[in-house]
Structure 1
Amino acid sequence: MGMLRTENAKMVGKLAVISVGMFAFGYVLIPIYKHICELTGINILSLSERQVPGNGVAGRDVKVPANTQVDKSRTITVEFDANARGPWDFKPAQRSLQVHPGELATVMYEFQNVQNRRMAAQAIPSYAPRQAAAHFNKLECFCFNQYVLEPGEKKQWPVAFVIDPRLSKDVTTITLSYTFFEVGGKTPPAPTEPTAALPAGVVPQGAGS
């Protein structure tokens, strides 16, 4: 009996260590991911994006940078993709859009927290081909901030962007993809009982503000 208790205690200890390790990994996942992306040059907000007016606060100062010329002789197909690292719904309102370089365009992304607990999350963008990142200027984007959603809550978030006319003419298609990560350590654990009521309706975020 004594040996059995000892083995059980060891097992409980191992499970506790694993649980703490998983929590810690989830908490630092986004900083680690961003650091890796900075080293590899993928899935990051490009320097040109950070320098565009309005990028600091989503939903404000959405305008085309001064002296931007619209090149109507070229058409770029922008494809939109969404990946969710967790049990929630995340998708673009449309799969593609054709724009001229220098033209302001907007696409909406839809998100719903289908869990029975609050959650905080943040989106990380990526681009294909890689060279397009330096020329894809986002003036407004939900990826600039972290968001907290209640159980069942729905949101629509805009992405307003301009493609730099200096983009190589060999590039005719750009894929903008977002991966949505839960931000560890910022939300309570799942309740033991299901949530009784869910918020209804789609609440736009950032539009018109």
Structure 2
Amino acid sequence: MIKKNTLTPLLLAGIFVFMLGLSFAAVPLYDLFCRVTGFGGTTQISKEAPNIVLDKIVNVRLDTNVNSQLDWDFAVNEKTLDVKPGKVYKIKFNVENLGDQPSSAVASYNVSPSSFGQYFNKLGCFCFEKQTLKPGEKASYDLVFYLDPELVNDPKTKNIEDVTMSYTFFSSDYYKVEKNES
């Protein structure tokens, strides 16, 4: 028989291990939840475009940003587009390293309003991939996407006419060593 003095530490250790396991599982489970539901403006990844194009027009505004730790210029060729659900669009983004050192960054995105994220389908994107530029180097990246025609059947999105797709480059040099000037 297990004594009460032994049971309490074993129970607490078990709870600790269980909670630790949940903390490691939380990120992938939340990511899966966002991708399935479009929660938080998470867009969808698609292999092919739909066979139908609707006459409805949605104004898509493309917003570009750079984190303050990064000396890059980031712009899109077309800031606004009139998009028809079901039609495939290709947008070109331009990036330049304005600094005097090579630097790396990763672009993340968000869709607003967030309820629209599940209908924004990417066929090709540079987001979440590490990009490295030498000093003064320029690069162009493409976004290929379409809006799922099903958006007109969703009461939360059927009347939306304006959507913002925001991209931000963040430095991927998280552990950059500062040089001491002595």
Scaled by the length of structure 1, the TM-score of the pair is: 0.60
Cα deviation, 1:66-103, whole Å, max 9, x if unaligned, reads x431012x011110001100221011111101111000
Cα deviation, 1:109-167, whole Å, max 9, x if unaligned, reads 11000111111111000011101110000111110411111111001111110000111
Structure ranking higher in strand proportion? 2
| Equivalent position of 1:156 in the other structure | 140
How far apart, CA to CA, are the structure 2 residues paired with 1:81 and 1:162?
Answer: 17
Instruction: State the SS of the aligned residue for 1:143.
Output: coil
Instruction: State the SS of the aligned residue for 2:54.
Output: coil
| Equivalent position of 1:70 in the other structure | 53
| Equivalent position of 2:6 in the other structure | none
**Structure 2: segments with no counterpart, 5+ residues:** 1-26, 152-156
| Equivalent position of 1:111 in the other structure | 95
Match of 2:164 among 172, 175, 186: 175
Is residue 108–residue 156 contact of structure 1 (8 Å, CA) maintained in 2? yes
Deviation at 1:177, TM superposition (A): 0.4
Q: % of aligned pairs identical?
A: 28
Is residue 120–residue 187 contact of structure 1 (8 Å, CA) maintained in 2? no
Structure of greater Rg: 2
Match of 1:141 among 101, 104, 125: 125
Paired amino acid for 1:177: S
Q: 1:43 to 1:112 in 2, by over 3 A?
A: farther
Q: Aligned residue pairs: how many? A: 141
Q: What is the CA RMSD across the aligned residues, in angstroms?
A: 2.6
Scaled by the length of structure 2, the TM-score of the pair is: 0.69
Paired amino acid for 1:178: Y
